[in-house]
Structure 1
Amino acid sequence: MTSRLNPYISFPGNAREAMEFYESVFGGTLQANTFGEYGDPDAPEAQKIMHSQLETPSGYTLMGADTPPGMSVTAGDNITISLSGDDADELRGYWDKLSDGGNITMPLEKQMWGDEFGACQDKFGISWMVNISAS
């Protein structure tokens, strides 16, 4: 197996909702395991997500989990996810879904380097950049 780089996002208790949202954006197969499956099924956090992984048809991998009790998390402050390529229709589709209900910090439009580029925060506070190659 080759090495791969993918984002891993910690959520403040809404990992299942967030990862299901990303599955609706990108398609693919979402696998999720709870803290209860690997520990005490009666613990207060038993139904929270210990680990989830989304594998998409485009080859993207996104992982996420709920932050364990006693640890802190500030959604969106420690990660930005970049989507780039030359399939303009696919990337615009992702942009439309990710920015819906979120905050556009830079509109998706042609930039001085020739590509279309935009940045937004989705409705979960996660920062995204989309770059559509001109060539």
Structure 2
Amino acid sequence: MVTADLTGSDTMTTTFEKPTLKDFPAASASGEATVSLSKAGKALTVQIPDSDISPYSSVHLTLGAASKPPEWTGNLEPMMVNKTPETHPDDFEVAELRKGVTLTVPGDTLKAFSGRLVELRYTFTYESGGADTSKPLNVRFKA
């Protein structure tokens, strides 16, 4: 589900659903996910809900305390399906949005958040320079 808010006469901000964690479901009552660093291993896999956005956009993850700038920002990943004439002979020139996108947070990065509760979000950035951010998933990291 995507929500849109008019914040000015010509400005619209869109908020996307929370990310989810592979192997670490959020508790239904609190909505908080607890991640054991020993079980996460070399990387934490984050699933981005499918959204109706431009295939020309990119997405990245952020981790940090609420109401502060992110302490960690992941690499930008394109949202367009990588097509070649060999893999998509009939429509390789047609832009197609990726579905089922997963991103990772490296295990070494996770260690810096041990013993803390932080917000995990994803942000879509667009060719126009605009950006939209997801609702936060509160994640508690433990050793």
Taking structure 1 as the reference length, the TM-score comes to 0.28
Taking structure 2 as the reference length, the TM-score comes to 0.27
Q: Which has a greater percent of helix? A: 1
Higher relative contact order (CA 8 A, sep 6+): 2
